[in-house]
Amino acid sequence: MKHRLKTALLVVALLGVAAQTPLSAAPIKKAEQQTVKKGPVKAAAKAPLSAKSATSKSTSRYAATKQPSRNVAAKAPLGKSASAGAVKKTSIAHESSRKLVRHAVLTDIDPGRLALYSASALVIDQSNGQVMLEKHPDMVVPIASISKLMTAMVVLDAKLDLQELIAIGDEDVDGLKGTRSRLPVGTTMTREAAMLLALMSSENRAAHALGRHYPGGMHAFVQAMNKKAHALGMYHSRFDEPTGLSSNNVSTAHDLARMVAAAARYPEIRSYSTTAEAKVELNGRIRDFHNTNALVRSDTWEIGVSKTGYISEAGRCLVMQARVADKPVVIVLLDSQGKMTRVGDANRIKRWMESAGLAVERRRV
């Protein structure tokens, strides 16, 4: 009897265990299914996809690279462990994006990528003497009317009376290139007016008259030009006359950078070479003259010294001392093919420098 009772109790106990097992297992399985659908597992799976998206887009513009990283951070905090993993991946995405953005910006400001159409070019930071850009800077080439900056310095060094009247003579007529002039033979003007027209409008007769009225005449004047060049360290330069019409007036971009920097120390040269236009009384008549460098009329340029030049042997040339991207610089562009390419090159250099300055500010932030 006792044996049957024990057997019955054992059977009842086994049946109870078997009955309880499926009842507790079913809710656990359901909970797991809900976790897969809505829990942190799916959120954690999405995080690396967003990080990959941020990395692949990080070579585009700076503003566009930050958006994917913000999306990752917004989706992450669904569970404790998943949140930590997502935050870590978000940090990696930010770091990767930041590095790639800086690399892309620095590539954009690489001076080697500038398409300059001048055969010889040089940009020097005057604050520290650093060469910022160069292209065949030691090539000896004709410099055309850039010579007139040296002409003006020699006249000013001699401390001649700028109000003294000088006259345009037959000797000042261009017999080499046959260029025209708005200054007829017999025109009289002050030495100051002649210097203004030579620097601003590149008047060849005015420049030649300045040399001819120098103490000792033209020969002494040319000697003074070459002596001044040597004193400035322009060892690859030579001057034959004051206008630049002769292709024997030669120099290099490096030498001309020295000359422009020296010319910038003369207030008269700074003023006359950057005058946009002027009304000059000649033989009782008022005539309008304009600067040969269109950039001096631009509100986006801050130019201290300017001079253009052109003869067929030299191509189109431009030298300037200016302030660009808050830096004092000397820009030399020689033998540029095409009427507007020297101006285009100057503007490309300006945009490049401004982009470089912007990139530096971004890196500081």
Nearest in space to 239 (alpha carbons), one of 250, 253, 254, 228: 250
Residue 65 CB contacts under 8 Å (≥ 6 apart), including other chains: 54, 57, 58, 97, 100, 101
Q: Which amino acid is at 104?
A: A
How far is residue 38's CA from residue 23's CA, in Å, rounded to a whole number?
24
Residue 321 CB contacts under 8 Å (≥ 6 apart), including other chains: 126, 260, 261, 263, 264, 303, 304, 305, 328, 329, 330, 331
DSSP 58: T
What is the side-by-side order of every strand in the sheet holding 302-311? 130-135, 118-125, 327-336, 315-324, 302-311
Exactly one of 97, 118, 145, 181 is catalytic; name it.
145
Exactly one of 148, 228, 307, 350 is catalytic; name it.
148
Catalytic site includes residue 202: yes
Q: Which amino acid is at 181?
A: S
Q: Give SS3 for 179.
A: coil
The overall longest dimension of the chain from CA atoms, in Å, is 154
Catalytic residues: 145, 148, 202
